[in-house]
Amino acid sequence: MPASRDVTAARVAIGSDTDLAWVRQQVRQAAAGLGFSLVQQTKLITAASELARNTLIHGGGGYMEITPCPQGTAPGLRLSFVDSGPGIRNVEQAMADGYTSGGGLGLGLSGAKRLVHEFLLDTCPGRGTTVTITAWATVVPSARPEAT
C-alpha cells in the first residue's frame, strides 16, 4: 500500500487566475497524498480547474472546499466549489456538451462530470452555485515481497 499522508480539510479562495493555479496545486497535493494514481490525479485536477474557472468567471469568485472522504478502504476526495453569483438558470442547457456562456469550449460542467465518480450541482438563480465532486482512488496494492 502506498503510504498515504494525512490530508486535512481545507478551504481555498478563488478570486483570480493565480488562485486557479493554487487550487490545482492544492488538489494535486491532496490527491497524491491519498495515493491517487497519476491518471486519477490528472483527471481530478483537470475537473477542479474547470470548476474553479466557472466559479471565478460565472460566479464572480468564491472558494473551494477540499475534504477527504474515504469509502471503505478506498481513499477519496470531495471538492466543493462555492460561489454566490447569479446562479444557473437553465441547468440542463449548462450541462450539455458545447454550451458556453464564457467563451470557453463549453466543456466545463459536462466535461468535469465525466472526470469524476460523483457530481452534484446545486444552484439557485440569484443566490449562487455549489458544485460538489467526489473521486475515489482505486488503490493498486503493491506485490508482497514474500509472495512467491
Partner 1 sequence: MTDQVGANEAAAAQVCSFLQRRREQIAQRWADASLFRTVFTLSREEAVEACKAVVDALADVALSGRPEDIAAPAFGTVRDQLGRMAASRARAGFTPAQISEEVAALRAPVVELLRGEFTDSSEATAQEGVLALTVLMGSLRLVVMETALSAGEELIARQRLQLLEVATPVIKLWEGIVAVPLIGTLDSARSQVVMESLLEAIVAQRAQYAILDITGVPTVDSLVAQHLMKTVAAARLMGAECIVSGIRPAIAQTIVHLGIDLGTILTRAGLADALAYALAQQGIEVSAHRMARASTR
Partner 2 sequence: MNRAAAGHPLAVPVLALGDVLLVTLQGELHDGMAEQLQQDIAQRIARSTVSGVVIDISGVDIVDSFLGRVLSDIAAGARLMAVRTVLVGMRPAVAITMVELGLTLPGLVTALDTERALDMLATAPQLAAVSVPAERKEARDAGLP
The CB density around residue 34, as the number of other CB atoms within 10 Å, is: 25
Pattern 33-62, partner 2, x by CB under 8 A = -----xx-xxx-xx--xx--x---------
Partner touching 46 among partner 1, partner 2, none, CB below 5 to 8 Å by kind? partner 2
Residues 6+ apart with CB under 8 A from 33: 4, 5, 6, 7
29 binds partner 2 (CB under 8 A): no
* Residue with Cβ nearer partner 1 (72 or 126): 72
Cell of 64: 473551494
Q: Distance between CA atoms of 85 and 17, rounded to whole angstroms? A: 17
d(CA 37, CA 58) in angstroms, rounded, equals 31
Q: Which residues bind partner 2 (CB under 8 A)?
A: 17-18, 20-21, 24-25, 28, 38-39, 41-43, 45-46, 49-50, 53, 97, 104-108, 110-112, 114-115
